[in-house]
A = this chain, B = another copy of it.
Amino acid sequence: MKIAIAQLNPVIGDVRKNSYNIYKAAQKAVDKEAELLLTPELSLCGYPPKDLVLNSTFIEDLWLELQELAKKLPDNLTVLVGIVTENCQANFEGEKSLFNSIALLRNREIKEVFNKRLLPTYDVFDEARYFEPGKQSNFFELTSNKQDAQPIKIGVTVCEDLWNDEEFWGKRHYEENPIQDLVNHRVDLVINLSASPYSIGKQQVREAMLKHSANRYKIPIIYTNQVGGNDDLIFDGNSFAVNKKGEITLRSKGFQTGIEVIEYNPKIQDLNSSYVANIIDSEEEEIWEALVLGVRDYAKKCGFSKAILGLSGGIDSSLVAAIAAKALGSENVLGILMPSPYSSSHSISDAEALIKHLNIQSYTLPIGDLMGGYDRLLEPLFTGTEFGVAEENLQSRIRGNLLMAIANKFGHLLLSTGNKSEMAVGYCTLYGDMNGGLAVISDLPKTRVFALCHWLNRDREVIPHHVLIKPPSAELKPDQRDQDSLPPYEILDDILHRLIHCHQSLKEIEAAGFDHDTISKVIKLVSRAEFKRKQAPPGLKVTDRAFGTGWRMPIAKV
C-alpha cells in the first residue's frame, strides 16, 4: 500500500487556504496511487495557533471546514488532518477544554479522531495551556484496494508522542509511553504527524531517535513534518521514514513543501525503499536555508514583498542583506547607508561593495546634520555632561527613525540585524538598531555569523573580504571597537553558550577555565539587558534556546 507524505506550509489561522492545500495534496497523492495521505500536526490551522484557539468560533470554524474538506476529497483515499477539537467532558472532569487531534477522513466523512497524548511544555511549547492529553492509544486499520489485501494496523502518534524513548534519552520525559502501547496493540506501522521547529542539528537527532525506536520495537515509522516559517519558528520539513531495522527508507527535501510516496509492503511487513534526499551535512548551509525560509515566509505571510535594512558595512548587516536578497529577490531589498562623522571610510566602501555583490537597491542618508539638531536642542539640558551612552544611542536611534520612515512610506518590512551575542549582553540600542519587524540573525552568536559568512563566500566573494577581517565596531564614537567593552567574541560566545544553553552557574563556568571577573561581568550584562530583549522583534530561532517565546525571564530581579 502506498502512503503519501505531504510536507505542507500552512498560514496560521488561514483555514480555507490550508484546507485547499490539503485538497491539492490529496489529488497528487491519488495521482501517485497512494491510498493514505499524511499531513502534519494541526495542518488545518497551522502550528502554533497559540491563543487563537481561545476565540469562541475558532474550533467550530475548523470543524465546519474539515467537513467541507472531507466531502471534496477523492474516494478511496484516507486522509489524516491535524485539527483542534473540543473536549466535551472538560467541565465535568476538570480537564482542559481542547484536544490537539488528528482527524481521519475517508469517503466524504470524518471517521475518527485521535488525540495527542504527550504535550510539550518546555522551550517555546505551551500545549498544556490549551490541551488535555489524550488518554487512549491511537490506531486504525486500513485495507488496500489491491486484490487479496489484508488490513494493515496503523498506529497514530503526534509529534511529542514519540519523544519519550528512555533508552535513547537516558531518562523518561513522560509517564505515558505511546509507542509501547501501540506495540502492545500489535500495530504494523507507526506514523508520526509533527510540527517540529528547526534547530541546528535537530534532523540528526530526530533520525537517530526514530531509528532507535524502530529498531528497538521492530516497527517501521513514518515521520511527517510541517515546513515553513511562522513568526520566530522555522519548520524544516525533512519528513522521513525508517524501516523496522532502523534504516532510512525515505527523506523529503528540507525547507520546502513537497509530497513523497512510500510503500508499505505486507509481504515483508515493512516499508520499501523510496526517495531519500541528501541530508544537509553543513551546519552553515542548514542555517542559511532556515533563515532564508524564515525571512521569506514572515514577509509573505505578513503581506510584504520588499524589505529594507541599514547597511553599516559591518558583518551583521552584510549577512542579513545577503539572506534577504536570497529570500525576496535582490530587486526587493533596499539597503540604506547612514554614515555619521564617526563612520570610517571603509564602512561606506564595504557597504558599497556588498551592494554591488548582491545587486540590491541602496540609498545614502548622512546623519550628521540630524545629530547636530538633537545636540543643539538638548544642549541646555546636557551642558556640562560628558559624551556617553546617551549620545551613542542617539545616532543609532536617528538611523532607526530614518529606516522606519522609509519602511512606513513605501510599505517595506524593516529587518533588524543584531546578532545573539549583542542581544545577550545588551550591546545594541533599543529603538535604534534593534528596530524592525523581524530580527533575522538574533539567534546567531557573533562567531557563528563569521562562520556563516565564510561559508557564503566559499565559491565567490559575496560578503566583501574586508568586512570579514576588520575588527567589529559600532562606530558610535571615534576609534570605537566592540572589544573595548566586551571580551573577545570567542570567549564571550563560549561563556554565553554555557549560561544560556547549559544553564551553568558562575562557579561551573569558572571550573571550565574562564576568568572569574569576565564571567561575572557577562552574567550582569545578560541580566541587565532583559528589558531590551523584552522589546525586541521576533527573532528567527535556530538554536535550542533562543531569546524568544521560549525565553521567559523576569526583568526586575536579582
A interface residues with partner B (beta carbon < 8 Å)? 11-15, 17, 46, 48-52, 54-57, 90-96, 121-122, 126, 128-129, 164, 166, 171-177, 229-231, 297-298, 301-302, 363, 365-367, 369-370, 373-374, 376-378, 381-382, 385, 388-391, 393-394, 397-398, 400-402, 404-406, 408-409, 430-431, 435, 437, 502-505, 507-508, 531, 534-538, 549, 551-558
Contacts and interface: CB of A to CB of B under 8 A. Distances in A.
Contacts of A126: 121, 126, 129, 552
Contacts of A366: 377
A391 B402 CA distance: 11
A293 to B, nearest CB: 13
Nearest to A558: B14
B397 A378 contact: no
A549 B554 CA distance: 11
Contacts of A437: 531
B431 A400 contact: yes
A405 B431 contact: no
Nearest to A53: B503
A172 B503 contact: no
Contacts of A175: 93-95
25 contacts: A12-B554, A12-B556, A14-B558, A50-B552, A50-B553, A52-B557, A54-B503, A94-B166, A94-B177, A121-B126, A126-B129, A126-B552, A128-B128, A129-B552, A230-B556, A231-B555, A365-B377, A366-B377, A367-B377, A369-B377, A374-B402, A390-B405, A404-B430, A437-B531, A534-B538
Contact of A409 (B390, B398, B551, B557): B390
A251 to B, nearest CB: 28
A553 B11 contact: no
A409 B374 CA distance: 13
Contacts of A302: 531, 555-556
Q: Which 3 A-B pairs have the closest CB atoms?
A: A94-B172, A301-B556, A91-B171
A554 B298 CA distance: 11
Contacts of A122: 129
Contacts of A13: 554, 557-558
Contacts of A121: 96, 121, 126, 128-129
A128 to B, nearest CB: 4
Of A121, A382, A558, the most chain B CB neighbours within 10 A belong to: A558
Contacts of A551: 51
Contacts of A171: 90-92, 94
Contacts of A398: 401
A428 B90 CA distance: 40
Contacts of A55: 503, 505
Nearest to A50: B552
A527 to B, nearest CB: 9
